[in-house]
C-alpha cells in the first residue's frame, strides 16, 4: 500500500507538471488539426504510417547511440519528469545538450529523408500520375514527424536549462532539499575547489565510490582519482571520511 501511495503521488506530480500539460496540449491540438483535415477521427489512420515512423525512430536512436548521447537523452526526460534531489549540475548540462543535439539530428534526418524521396521520385518521373501522391505523402509525413519531435524536445530542453540555472543560483538556507545539492556545492566551491572538483567532492560526501562517481559524471576512474587527489590537497583532508566530516561541520 505504501508503494502504491508513492506511485500515485508521482503520477499526480507528473500530471500537474506544466510541461506535461504543454505536451498534452500540443498532442491534442495536433490530433484535432489532423482529424479536421482528414474529415473526422476515422481518417486519422492516414497520418499513422508506422513503417515510416519506425524507420525514422530506429535511425534516430542509432545516430544518438553512435555519438554517445543516447543515455543523456533518456536521462533528460527522467530528470524533467522525475527530478532528484541529488542531481548534479553536470547531469543537467549534459542532458540539455543531448536534447538539443537530438532535435538537430531529427531535423537533419528529416531533411535527408525528404531528399531521398525527391531524388527517387525524379528518377521515376515517367509515371508522375502514379507516384506524385504517395511521394508527396511520404515527404510531408517525414516533415510532420520530425516537426512533432522538435515540438516535444524543445520544452524539455528549456526545462533542463532552467533547472541548471536554478541549481547555479545560491539559494537561501532553510528551503527543503537544498542541502543535498546546491548548498553543499557552493560550500565546496568556497573551499577553493573547481567546478568539476566540487561535483566530485559532493558525490563523495553522498557515499559514492569512485566507479559510481565516474558513471554519474561520465568520466573514467582514473580521472576521479586525479580529482580526489586535488580535492584532498585543497581541503587539507587526509581521507574521504575526513572530507565528508568537514562538509558536515560546515553545514552545522
Query: Could you list the mean pLDDT of each consecutive 10-residue stretch along the chain, which spans 252 residues?
Result: 54 54 56 52 60 84 87 87 74 87 89 84 71 79 85 85 69 43 75 84 85 81 90 88 80 47
| 228 and 194 within one domain | yes
At residue 139, the pLDDT reads: 84
| 41 and 55 within one domain | no
| 71 and 120 within one domain | yes
At residue 79, the pLDDT reads: 85
| 126 and 89 within one domain | yes
| 54 and 142 within one domain | yes
Domain range for 202: 178-251
Here the cell at position 47 is: 497520418
Kindly report the CA angle at 215 between 79 and 102, in degrees rounded to 5? 50
Q: What sections of 88-181 are H helices per DSSP?
A: 89-123, 128-168
At residue 157, the pLDDT reads: 87
Exposed, middle or buried by CB within 10 Å (0-12, 13-18, 19+), for 153?
Answer: buried
Q: What are the counts of helices (DSSP H) followed by strands (DSSP E) for the chain?
A: 11, 0
Of the residues 28, 46, 64, the one at which a domain ends: 46
At residue 164, the pLDDT reads: 78
| 240 and 147 within one domain | no
Q: Phi and psi at residue 169, in whole multiples of 5°?
A: -85, 120
| 206 and 158 within one domain | no
Contact predicate 126/103, CB 8 Å: no
Of the residues 144, 168, 192, the one at which a domain ends: 168
Contact predicate 206/184, CB 8 Å: no
Q: Which helix (H) or strand (E) holds 245?
A: helix 240-251
Quote the number of domains for the chain. 3
At residue 28, the pLDDT reads: 58
At residue 33, the pLDDT reads: 52
Of the residues 168, 197, 220, the one at which a domain ends: 168
- CA-nearest of 37, 168, 29 to 96 is 168
Contact predicate 171/178, CB 8 Å: yes
Is 197 inside any structural domain? yes
As a whole number of angstroms, the distance between CA 88 and CA 90 comes to 5
Is 173 inside any structural domain? no
At residue 173, the pLDDT reads: 45
Q: Please, what is the angle between helix 70-81 and helix 128-168, to 10°?
A: 60
- CA-nearest of 185, 180, 152, 181 to 73 is 152
Contact predicate 234/193, CB 8 Å: yes
State how far Cα 169 lies from the chain centre: 21
Kindly report the CA angle at 90 between 188 and 72, in degrees rounded to 5? 160
At residue 172, the pLDDT reads: 42
Is 149 inside any structural domain? yes
| 66 and 10 within one domain | no
Contact predicate 199/88, CB 8 Å: yes
- CA-nearest of 218, 250, 99 to 163 is 99
Amino acid at each position: 500500500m505504501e508503494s502504491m501511495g508513492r506511485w500515485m503521488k508521482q503520477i499526480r506530480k507528473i500530471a500537474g507538471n506544466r510541461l506535461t500539460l504543454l505536451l498534452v496540449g500540443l498532442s491534442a491540438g495536433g490530433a484535432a488539426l489532423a482529424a479536421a483535415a482528414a474529415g473526422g477521427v476515422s481518417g486519422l489512420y492516414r497520418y499513422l504510417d508506422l513503417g515510416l515512423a519506425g524507420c525514422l525512430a530506429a535511425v534516430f536512436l542509432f545516430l544518438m547511440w553512435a555519438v554517445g548521447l543516447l543515455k543523456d537523452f533518456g536521462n533528460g526526460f527522467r530528470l524533467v519528469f522525475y527530478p532528484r534531489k541529488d542531481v548534479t549540475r553536470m547531469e543537467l548540462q549534459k542532458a540539455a545538450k543531448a536534447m538539443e543535439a537530438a532535435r538537430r539530428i531529427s531535423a537533419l534526418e528529416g531533411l535527408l529523408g525528404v531528399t531521398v524521396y525527391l531524388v527517387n521520385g525524379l528518377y521515376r518521373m515517367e509515371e508522375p500520375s502514379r507516384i506524385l501522391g504517395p511521394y508527396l505523402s511520404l515527404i510531408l509525413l517525414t516533415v510532420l514527424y520530425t516537426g512533432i519531435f522538435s515540438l516535444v524536445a524543445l520544452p524539455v530542453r528549456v526545462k533542463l536549462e532552467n533547472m541548471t540555472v536554478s541549481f547555479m543560483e545560491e539559494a537561501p538556507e532553510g528551503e527543503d532539499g537544498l542541502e543535498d545539492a546546491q548548498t553543499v556545492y557552493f560550500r565546496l566551491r568556497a573551499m577553493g575547489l573547481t567546478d568539476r572538483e566540487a561535483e566530485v567532492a559532493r558525490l563523495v560526501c553522498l557515499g559514492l565510490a569512485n566507479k559510481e562517481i565516474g558513471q554519474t559524471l561520465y568520466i573514467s576512474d582514473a580521472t576521479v582519482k586525479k580529482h580526489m587527489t586535488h580535492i584532498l590537497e585543497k581541503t587539507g583532508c587526509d581521507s574521504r571520511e575526513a572530507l565528508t566530516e568537514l562538509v558536515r561541520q560546515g553545514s552545522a
